[in-house]
Chains A and B, each alone.
Chain A
């Protein structure tokens, strides 16, 4: 059911040429170098430590692996993470 709604929304967004992150609540990541990550449309934090961070998304979650990780700013739908980032992974 969820999946079907997503497919329809995506088709609509494509047809109307509207960016997906606005309509579909899709996460948007901006990574500056290796030390800064800006994430929009998140759904809260699942796990938080200096080496590993898991962030809830509308579908699945995002795993960030690195060293000395910290949340520099946290707002209802965006956040900024700083530290030595070594890997980013989408997990369903």
Chain B
């Protein structure tokens, strides 16, 4: 059967034949192995198609039988050759375009970094650049796996790295290592981080200096790292005259009731300036002789306004030249009035916000209440919020000579 694609590649010719007994031509072509198709009778002649390769042989048959032949159309790739030759510029342009596109897409144009929290983005970029990934690098000059391995070696804080090359963009994904906190290895005390009342005490190592119910201030020793040897009383031994204390790294947990407070206020009547939306733009042309108004004639009639000006001045031999632009925006005073209830709500919200900034994240409040400090006749509502919570307040404090190892 007629294969459309191979016909297009080889090229074919549409013909119109005129003469008696076209069947004869068809049978002769058939006998000589010339492939013809789409044979249609039209008027006195027939339409048919023949391959370029068989056209010469077919023409011989036609001439032998004295038929009239008319070439209607030449189709297929070989016939485009002449068209291509005629439009050399277009072809070159198309080729150049494809080539440029290929060339441009084989460079890295963008480098993106994600996943880094504590490591500086520029450090990752510099390390990547040292191993071959930087904007403008040719893709054939580096191997993704090698760069990943080298970067992992160079950046010790990184646990995993992935360089994803997508077109002209390289996205570097990193996962940071979670390093343990610097631990105090030498002897130390546990001291109070803030004021509070001790609720619970658990000593793992060291000697407790406080008991449940004690009020402690910030900096007080809770569990001491200096341990005196205990002498069992019931053994009847005499206590040591000069007991030598031992040093240890105190460990334990001291839970204490602590307080936090936050403050917020809200005026019952507040005034603020807002832009009304009306504005006047003036544009001047500055010349050494005269200042010419280009735009925005008329006086500034706004009662309250904000003015900003932008100047571009060049000084020449005759004087100054340039443009001056002035933007004048009208402002109006907006008065906001709150009822006492609304003001209390706003002030409390502000107080809670300030409180949240002070409290460590994740701390649970066990009790909270708020006080209105201002009297009802005041024009401002002041509020203080108190929050009570229970938290571990013990922090290690090295005893002289002990060092913090990292």
Q: Does B27 contact A (CB under 8 A)?
A: yes
* 8 A Cβ contacts from A33-92 to B: 44-50, 70-76, 80
A17 to B22, CA, bound (A): 40
- Residue of A45, A76, A80 ringed by the most chain B CB atoms within 10 A: A45
Nearest-Cβ distance from residue A65 to partner chain B, whole angstroms: 14
- Interface residue tally on A, bucketed by range: 10 to 19
A55 to B122, CA, bound (A): 84
A48 adjacent to B38 (CB under 8 Å)? no
A85 to B278, CA, bound (A): 82
Q: Which of B2, B23, B37, B40 contacts A45 (CB 8 A)?
A: B23
A73 adjacent to B1 (CB under 8 Å)? yes
B41 adjacent to A50 (CB under 8 Å)? yes
Q: Does B90 contact A (CB under 8 A)?
A: no
Contacting residues, chain A, for B33 (C-beta < 8 A): 76
Contact code string B27-41 (vs A, CB < 8 Å = 1, else 0): 101110101111111
Q: Does B26 contact A (CB under 8 A)?
A: yes
Contacting residues, chain B, for A75 (C-beta < 8 A): 30, 35
Q: Which of B23, B30, B41 contacts A76 (CB 8 A)?
A: B30
* 8 A Cβ contacts from B29-62 to A: 29-31, 33, 35-41, 46
B41 adjacent to A49 (CB under 8 Å)? yes
Q: Which of A46, A47, A70 contacts B38 (CB 8 A)?
A: A70
A71 adjacent to B39 (CB under 8 Å)? yes
Nearest-Cβ distance from residue A69 to partner chain B, whole angstroms: 8
| Least CB separation from A48: chain B residue | B23
A71 to B39, CA, bound (A): 5
Nearest-Cβ distance from residue A58 to partner chain B, whole angstroms: 15
Contacting residues, chain B, for A46 (C-beta < 8 A): 23
A76 to B30, CA, bound (A): 6
B38 adjacent to A45 (CB under 8 Å)? no
A45 adjacent to B41 (CB under 8 Å)? no
A48 adjacent to B22 (CB under 8 Å)? yes
B41 adjacent to A74 (CB under 8 Å)? no
Q: Contacts A45-B23, A74-B35, A75-B35 known; A80 to B41 CB distance under 8 Å? A: no
| Least CB separation from B2: chain A residue | A73
Contacting residues, chain B, for A44 (C-beta < 8 A): 26-27, 30-31
Contacting residues, chain A, for B31 (C-beta < 8 A): 44
A71 adjacent to B27 (CB under 8 Å)? no
Contacting residues, chain A, for B37 (C-beta < 8 A): 71-74
Q: Which of B1, B22, B30 contacts A80 (CB 8 A)?
A: B1
A49 to B23, CA, bound (A): 9
Contacting residues, chain A, for B36 (C-beta < 8 A): 74
Contacting residues, chain A, for B41 (C-beta < 8 A): 48-50, 70
Contacting residues, chain B, for A72 (C-beta < 8 A): 2, 37-38
A48 adjacent to B46 (CB under 8 Å)? yes
Q: Contacts A74-B30, A74-B35 known; A47 to B23 CB distance under 8 Å? A: yes
| Least CB separation from B39: chain A residue | A71
Contacting residues, chain A, for B26 (C-beta < 8 A): 44-45, 48, 71, 74
A70 adjacent to B35 (CB under 8 Å)? no
A70 to B22, CA, bound (A): 13
Nearest-Cβ distance from residue A67 to partner chain B, whole angstroms: 12
A71 to B38, CA, bound (A): 6
* 8 A Cβ contacts from B1-15 to A: 1-2
Contact code string A8-45 (vs B, CB < 8 Å = 1, else 0): 00000000000000000000000000000000000011
Contacting residues, chain B, for A50 (C-beta < 8 A): 40-41
> Please, could you name 30 A-B residue pairs with CB atoms under 8 Å apart, sorted by A?
A44-B26, A44-B27, A44-B30, A44-B31, A45-B23, A45-B27, A45-B30, A46-B23, A47-B23, A48-B26, A48-B46, A50-B40, A50-B41, A70-B38, A70-B41, A71-B37, A71-B38, A71-B39, A72-B37, A72-B38, A73-B1, A73-B2, A73-B37, A74-B29, A74-B35, A74-B36, A74-B37, A75-B30, A76-B30, A80-B1
Q: List 5 A-B pairs, minimum CB-CB distance, nearest first.
A: A71-B39, A70-B40, A44-B27, A73-B37, A45-B23
